[in-house]
Structure 1
């Protein structure tokens, strides 16, 4: 075990991105994960960049904007990175309802009535094909000398036995691993259908219920969503909920109603009252927590990774 050794716990988008940043700064990084990235909640995510149900407001803006800048660059090689810049509308949303970050998103503006009825915003935003992006992150990590090891972690002390610095990116697993009772599942269900010709994304959040409505055109099909049920641990798709998702999306794009269903997906977002991104002394070494990103892990991944790496490598 050397001074440059780091163990990152968790192989979702937060863990892999953090590991890449650390490895490219010269650290010897091992990612520990109980399942491959393809089996994580990140692989189920719709993949649209948008600060969605994540706190604290005063930090999320900077994390999101840094991540946006990275994705805009990665979109130049979208076939490999899985990142594309796609036009779309966020319905039932006004600019003055958003934080200061919104003024710094290139091209973000009020939608025209032709683009969307009612108050809405138009933007050309990153839309990430998560299976492709996660595989690319893993390849980039390996190219920087990092290693991904599939193993179940019973406690953070196991990691300190092999590295002086541990970064906890365990997502929903932090509830028992830390343990942290503030971490809770926010269940999301999706339906993937054959795309009948939808080329733009659409999103709408109902703040009064668990329903969210979105259409996200991805290479593997059109993703229809969704739900946001707090405290629900079930990962089994609900057929009634799936039918309701398709009905809601068909009100936006009627051609969706007859589209062939390819797949049903369920993921448990790692909800928390606020992201925990902080450093502490533990296990005789340095422990950095980077979890609790809710439904916006993709949106803040690079900003949080940069801060986590700074905390992990800062002098004591």
Structure 2
């Protein structure tokens, strides 16, 4: 896209990965952007995320996969500077489809029926796993090298990149979207779970995710077994700060307090596949509330008074995976507004 020369004053509500990537894309296009966020980036749900770039618990699949492919491209480029960006390319094994319950080796790169065919085609080198590459108890899977993001580090990078582009972050809670737009040319609503009250949108609800961080005994690859709709998942993600073990996906559970029994069950599930982790030293327990919705809301309308409002929320467990693709769509919508054609739905 060609950078525009007459920017708008834009308020982005929400300082997680969706809000920051949207803000960066707009600021780097020449707009004057201010992010309004109740929490510091490190205190958002994004900071708790495991950080694997893979479409998970998100609809509609066709659009989500397109957004994911774009984010894959951006994160792959950022992985050339891992210490700065928090993104790395890491090989791993997926042993269940995230789009359905089919055998994990079916459909990879072959236009399968789980809605992720375009994603399979976009991941270089993705292939069915050989039996020797699977943990004991896993019947099938596939191997892929994908971005794995250290989210606390990545959020710091995003804030710094936004500042470098001329954007700002203001620690405050938006009382309403109309209030956010009072002195702006446009508002972008990236409030995640907060959209339940701000939009207001009763379809937004939490999917609670609990994970355990343990000392890494030397594991260098990720492993995931997580079917869409499953309450309990099994995964491990090697991060610089420790090995992330997961997890849970509990609809409409609001608690942010780790449950010791759930944590014990998570470690036990992972240890059945990787016995060396049974006695790994626990470093931390974390709980995050994924901002879920039947489908992502990426649409535009007008606030009372005519200020354009773009919604970008409801990404569930795939925020980092779709962030840059969704940010590109936000930019296209803003440009449509700027050209005088009025807000358009996504």
TM-score of the two chains, using structure 2 as the length reference: 0.89
- Corresponding residue pairs, total: 315
Checking the alignment, whether the CA contact within 8 Å between 1:3 and 1:164 is kept in structure 2 is no
Counterpart check, 1:5 vs 2:9: yes
Question: Do residues 222 (structure 1) and 249 (structure 2) align?
Answer: no
Report the CA distance between 1:206 and its aligned residue: 4.2
2:61 maps to 1:57 = yes
The alignment's TM-score, normalised by the length of structure 1, stands at 0.97
**1:251: how far off?**
1.1
Q: 102, 105, 125: which one pairs with 2:123?
A: 105
Partners of 1:84 and 1:207 in 2: how far apart? Answer: 25
Query: Structure 2 vs 1, CA of residues 238 and 160 (structure 1 numbering), >3 Å: closer, same or farther?
Result: same
Q: State the Cα deviation string for residues 229-278 of structure 1 (Å, max 9, x = none).
A: 00000000000000000000111211111111010000000010000001
* Secondary structure of 1:114 counterpart: helix
Q: Deviations over 1:126-154 (max 9, x none)?
A: 00000000000000000000000000111
Equivalent pair of 1:110/1:121 in contact (CA under 8 Å): yes
8 Å contact kept, 1:279–1:312 = no
Bigger strand share: 1
| Structure 2 CA distance for partners of 1:208 and 1:69, relative to 1, 3 Å | closer
What residue in structure 2 maps to residue 291 of structure 1? 313
3-state SS in 2 of match to 1:258: coil
For each residue in 1:148-193, what CA deviation from the matched residue of structure 2 results, as whole angstroms up to 9, or x when unmatched? 0000111101111120200000000000111101101000001000
Q: Quote how far apart the aligned CAs of 1:209 are.
A: 3.5
| CA drift at 1:103 | 1.6
Contact 2:62 2:115 in 1 (8 A): no
Which residue, out of 234, 237, 253, partners 2:258?
237
Which stretches of structure 1, 4 residues or more, deviate above 4 A after TM superposition?
none
The 3-state SS of whatever aligns with 1:29 is: strand
Is this contact kept in 1: 2:11–2:33, CA < 8 A? yes
CA RMSD of aligned residues (A): 1.2
Matches within 5 A, 1:158-237: 158-207=179-228, 209-237=230-258
Q: Equivalent residue for 1:312?
A: 334
